[in-house]
A and B are shown apart, each in its own frame.
Chain A
Amino acid sequence: MMDKFRMIFQFLQSNQESFMNGICGIMALASAQMYSAFDFNCPCLPGYNAAYSAGILLAPPLVLFLLGLVMNNNVSMLAEEWKRPPGRRAKDPAVLRYMFCSMAQRALIAPVVWVAVTLLDGKCFLCAFCTAVPVSALGNGSLAPGLPAPELARLLARVPCPEIYDGDWLLAREVAVRYLRCISQALGWSFVLLTTLLAFVVRSVRPCFTQAAFLKSKYWSHYIDIERKLFDETCTEHAKAFAKVCIQQFFEAMNHDLELGHTHGTLATAPASAAAPTTPDGAEEEREKLRGITDQGTMNRLLTSWHKCKPPLRLGQEEPPLMGNGWAGGGPRPPRKEVATYFSKV
């Protein structure tokens, strides 16, 4: 059982999309749970009912949608990919569109759940439309015209609040509540049906159009995601190796200084005995991990080039030096051949 759990965990972590699917599911459940934990509190005052209900129907879905986008790392990835200078790698708008659609679709699930649950429950709808109930059809229609409009509104606004409702002589509260809840549930189910139908149509019909372009966009979108993650991991590894070697050198330098002090300035013997005569294996490994980048300036230039001109999507070719003269100014050579392989119009 633990193995299964581990497998699921690894699968979800395997790429950003799977991870977001997991997050999406959790947020949908959290949305339903939040609704049931939330204490709906209709103000039962004529002007405020509609405002409160509209707020409860619309603000939490917006919050959930934005939360779904914020939690998705692809948002900053999308923004980066959009704003980066083209460098040696052309930008493909189709990939950007794919990323955006995929993010938006996932982020829409939790708000849809909230709206559906709200409508099916009925309290929100009841609060919003209690003043619009047709009194003549449901209650004592003969008494209604005698009342001034504000008084009628005040009376009807209290329908959602059983403990302060005082209009039984005009309209039985139960009748109004039942009527409005029934409409609300009908709307709720229609909404659920509509969204499911829409999702189904989009999913089934899409392969009929632009399937080849879709596959390409999906591949390159995953690629960008994985590349970014690997770059971050490599940077962390490099930082670790850098720190290890730096600290080791610090200890060695300290020892060297002490040796110098002890041997009263005989520099000849000091360097030989200071550090270990043969560099230990562990240190060699660490130095290799540094890949030749051993000072702050070089590292900064590496990070700048990563953003300003990403390497071309072509492996196994003689790469001109990234930070050499050929690259000054960042002016892009027209990547003719590269465009043909990377971006094709379908």
Chain B
Amino acid sequence: MDKFRMLFQHFQSSSESVMNGICLLLAAVTVKLYSSFDFNCPCLVHYNALYGLGLLLTPPLALFLCGLLANRQSVVMVEEWRRPAGHRRKDAGIIRYMCSSVLQRALAAPLVWILLALLDGKCFVCAFSSSVDPEKFLDFANMTPSQVQLFLAKVPCKEDELVRDSPARKAVSRYLRCLSQAIGWSVTLLLIIAAFLARCLRPCFDQTVFLQRRYWSNYVDLEQKLFDETCCEHARDFAHRCVLHFFASMQSELQARGLRRDNAGRRLELPAVPEPPAVPEPPEGLDSGSGKAHLRAISSREQVDRLLSTWYSSKPPLDLAASPGLCGGGLSHRAPTLALGTRLSQHTDV
């Protein structure tokens, strides 16, 4: 268990490590999936190609989409792309960087499937057995073309009576498998050369821009995570206070009821609405609040809704030196429901 915890912590240490971990996991799942899948070529003239190519291409597409789904950064990227500019300029370079990083990781599992399928050869044999040129093999000399076609279609099925123990079948099957493996290795070689060149040559172009984009895309990711955490903290705080206020008001209501009964000697109507929770008076037992004053200030449903919609429609500028109250001034004129929004004329743009 310790081992797993350690590995887990190592992978959690940065979101890039997490994504790499997910990528590897998906690749391992692909290998297992391929080895446990029961390949079943139909051995009929027109269906072979459909089945073979379908099996070569459809699972990779599904795995690619899975890779995109499992990667948190794809959602962050789409959010960054679609958000209104607000106080914070949008940089297309950052979005491109995130997009390429997401795509690279999502492409790993589909490529593993395709390479496994090619190196194994069954898909290729099934798909292309009918397209083999019979001239290459002397054993087809005395067969009519339609017989040849039928024979070739049955090549992937070893147990079929027409082709069982036939040296011609073995020769064709062998030829196709060898071709499939050659294509598989060539594709692997090309991909790895491309990856190597990309890695080597990247510092030759625009290294400073790359460093900046990497930093800011990491920042966007972290900020989103931290905002979610802060909102969770706030929700927890809010819920805690709400419950405590409810208990306090229930208690004071009971006390008031007891007093009135004592006074009047009969039951009186109670106010339907319990006394409003006194915001300036935080009950005992809450955290001492040294770090959380900014959370406690947001204390109603409308305020929370407004905060969340402002976060989306106008993210704060990337400039911490500006003081909070006069932060762009835009916050007040962007919130339409504010009763008397004081229009501050300052509007800083980064």
Which A residues are within 8 Å of any B CB, using their own CB? Answer: 2, 5-6, 9, 38-39, 41-45, 48, 51-52, 55-56, 59-60, 62-63, 66-67, 69-70, 75-76, 79-80, 82-84, 161, 163-164, 166, 235-236, 239-240, 242-262, 264-265, 267, 270-271, 274-276, 280-283, 290, 294-297, 299-300, 303-304, 306-308
Contacts and interface: CB of A to CB of B under 8 A. Distances in A.
A162 B295 CA distance: 78
Contacts of B270: none
Given A251-B294, A254-B298, A254-B331, A39 B120 contact: yes
A52 B204 CA distance: 37
A258 B279 CA distance: 14
B212 A300 contact: yes
Given A43-B178, A253-B316, A59 B215 contact: no
Interface in B179-201: 181-182, 185-186, 188-189, 192-193, 195-196, 199-201
B320 A164 contact: no
Contacts, number: 225
B110 to A, nearest CB: 18
A237 to B, nearest CB: 10
A256 B318 CA distance: 19
- Among B216, B306, B318, the most chain A Cβ lie within 10 Å of the Cβ of B318
Interface in B268-327: 290-295, 297-298, 303, 306-307, 310-311, 316, 318-321, 324-325, 327
A66 B193 contact: yes
A252 B167 contact: no
B199 A75 contact: yes
Given A247-B223, A274-B325, A83 B212 contact: no
B178 A253 contact: no
B3 interface: yes
Interface residues of B, number: 75
B167 A249 contact: no
B6 interface: yes
Contacts of A307: 207-208, 211
B177 interface: yes
A319 B256 CA distance: 72
B196 A252 contact: no
- Among A6, A60, A245, A252, the most chain B Cβ lie within 10 Å of the Cβ of A252
Contacts of B10: 9
Contact residues of A: prevailing secondary structure: helix
Contacts of B189: 59, 62-63
Given A63-B185, A254-B306, A80 B203 contact: yes
A69 B198 CA distance: 12
B174 interface: yes
B311 A250 contact: yes
Contacts of B219: 239, 242-243
A2 B191 CA distance: 38
Contacts of B292: 280
Nearest to B319: A295
A245 B306 contact: no
B334 to A, nearest CB: 9
Contact residues of B: prevailing secondary structure: helix
A246 to B, nearest CB: 6
Given A69-B196, A249-B316, A253-B327, A79 B202 contact: yes
Contacts of A52: 178, 181-182
Given A2-B3, A41-B181, A76 B215 contact: no
B324 A274 contact: yes
A295 B321 contact: yes
Interface of B: 2-3, 6, 10, 14, 119-121, 136, 167, 170-171, 174-175, 177-178, 181-182, 185-186, 188-189, 192-193, 195-196, 199-204, 207-208, 211-212, 215-216, 218-219, 222-223, 226-227, 230, 290-295, 297-298, 303, 306-307, 310-311, 316, 318-321, 324-325, 327, 331-332, 335, 338-342, 350
B297 A251 contact: yes
Nearest to A251: B294
Given A260-B342, A276-B293, A295-B320, A306 B211 contact: yes
Contact of B293 (A240, A265, A275, A297): A275
- Among A44, A62, A296, A299, the most chain B Cβ lie within 10 Å of the Cβ of A296
B339 A261 contact: yes
A255 B211 contact: no
A67 B194 CA distance: 11
A63 B307 contact: no
Given A80-B203, A271-B325, A43 B175 contact: yes
B208 A256 contact: no
A100 to B, nearest CB: 11
A80 B167 CA distance: 58
14 contacts: A5-B3, A5-B6, A45-B171, A55-B185, A76-B200, A80-B203, A161-B170, A244-B226, A248-B294, A274-B297, A275-B293, A303-B211, A303-B212, A308-B208
Contact of B192 (A55, A63, A163): A63
B207 A239 contact: no
B199 A257 contact: no
Contacts of B201: 79
Contacts of B307: 251, 254
Contact of B199 (A43, A70, A258): A70
Contacts of B119: 38
A192 to B, nearest CB: 24
Contacts of B178: 41-43, 48, 52
A259 B338 CA distance: 11
B295 to A, nearest CB: 7
- Among A248, A271, A274, the most chain B Cβ lie within 10 Å of the Cβ of A248
Contact of B186 (A59, A70, A275): A59
Contacts of B338: 257-258, 261
Which 8 residue pairs are nearest across A and B when measured between Cβ atoms? Answer: A276-B293, A255-B297, A294-B320, A296-B318, A243-B223, A295-B319, A43-B178, A252-B324
Contacts of A243: 219, 222-223, 226-227
Given A41-B177, A280-B293, A250 B200 contact: no
A271 B342 CA distance: 14
- Among A39, A48, A239, the most chain B Cβ lie within 10 Å of the Cβ of A239
B306 to A, nearest CB: 7
A251 B227 CA distance: 10
